Structure 1
Amino acid sequence: MLKSLRCTVRHLLNTDLNTFIALVNDLPSRGDYFSSHFKSPEAMRREFLQNGFVSEDSELFVVEDQLHHIVGVVTHFKSRTPVSREIGYRLFDPSLAGQGYTTEALRLLCDYLFKVHTWHRLEVLSAPQNEASVRVAQKCGFSEEGTLRQAFFINGHYQDVKVFSLLRPEWERLHSA
């Protein structure tokens, strides 16, 4: 379990599963930057029973507020290169935007990944128009590298995606300051 003053980042528990499935499948909370594909509740239950949403390829964490409500999700997964991990995050309730949950969750996850694993590079991919996501990455020390043109197909449209990265030496400098 990873903790900050604002939130806790932890693995999903069996007692969270029904709430989590409902939050993941809540289409209005997805906005313009997440796919509108539903995930089968039964398939999600099977995957959770099989591995708890944790494998060598990916690890999912829920983000909960101080009252122990699940407010978001943060995950890391296999990237294009063997020394990297890609990170994804999502806040479930748009009314919580701007309160720092996602930024703190990303910081906690970056600290965990660099302290516990040998990864050299962390990546965040974001739609250029998703200003909140871009801000979160930048506040956590990620640098913009460029744009992958029409690399995502979301809700019937090809979309550009910006690539941000944080290298281990950059993270170490942030922590020594």
Structure 2
Amino acid sequence: MIALPFIRNNQGSLRGIRVCLREPSSGDYKAWANLRAESREFLSPWEPLWNEGDLERSSFRLRIRRYQEESQSGTGYPFFIFRNSDNRLVGGITLGNIRRGVAQSGQIGYWSGAPFAGQGYMTEAMGLIIPFAFDQLRLHRLEAACIPNNARSTRLLEKAGFQREGLLRSYLKINGMWQDHFLYSLLENDRRMINSKVAR
């Protein structure tokens, strides 16, 4: 797993070397809608079916409101990923479904715009959100799920130190079909072991 310096400032952002993770705002609508529209064919196999009005400004406003509610309640922390060199939106990553009590866990989900896939931006974003989850939120376990034939996502998770735990049968309805998913997890102790090996 790649360890990167990060700063979460008052604007709710995590800044790395090439990318910055920032909480979405209403002013991001145009960049978000354009990138999602441009990437529709690329993203469709890995996402739920898009509704007719998904890219409308009114839908985006509802999305932002939901993001704010999750962040305020501590159940989710959504981020847009911006490239530091030109402040261009390249994708999104979310730490969601946070459970406290005896669980202390959360789930990571992510998407990349088609023009920016395979350039390492998501790897760096993952390297920013993992320490945020463990060091600032004090979570114990992170989970992520991906469709078995999504080789790009599988490589991303394994590069970040996640371990495959098993197969979730008919787990999520993706692209109009119930699909199996691999379940991956990363524990706080896993990260410590990885970091200690890197330090050697």
Report the TM-score, using the length of structure 1 for normalisation. Answer: 0.88
Consecutive aligned runs of 4 or more in structure 1 exceeding 6 Å deviation = none
2:89 aligns with one of 51, 55, 70: 70
1:79, 1:48 → 2: CA distance?
18
CA contact (8 A) 1:33 1:154 kept: yes
Report the TM-score, using the length of structure 2 for normalisation. Answer: 0.79
Q: Secondary structure at 1:108's aligned position in 2?
A: helix
Partner of 1:148: 168
Alpha carbons of structure 1 residues 47 and 99: separation in structure 2 relative to 1, 3 Å = closer
Instruction: Indicate whether 1:82 and 2:90 are aligned.
Output: no
Alpha carbons of structure 1 residues 22 and 36: separation in structure 2 relative to 1, 3 Å = farther
Cα deviations across residues 131-177 of structure 1 (Å, max 9, x unaligned)?
Answer: 00010000000000000011111222221100110000111222333
Indicate the percent of aligned positions where both proteins have the same amino acid. 28
Unmatched 5+ residue regions in structure 1? Answer: none
2:69, 2:90 → 1: CA distance?
19
1:133, 1:101 → 2: CA distance?
13
Across the two proteins, how many residue pairs are aligned to each other?
176
CA contact (8 A) 2:70 2:77 kept: yes
RMSD between superposed Cα atoms in Å = 2.2
The letter for the 2-side match of 1:63 is I
Q: Secondary structure at 2:50's aligned position in 1?
A: coil
Alpha carbons of structure 1 residues 79 and 15: separation in structure 2 relative to 1, 3 Å = closer
Partner of 1:8: 20
CA contact (8 A) 1:12 1:52 kept: no
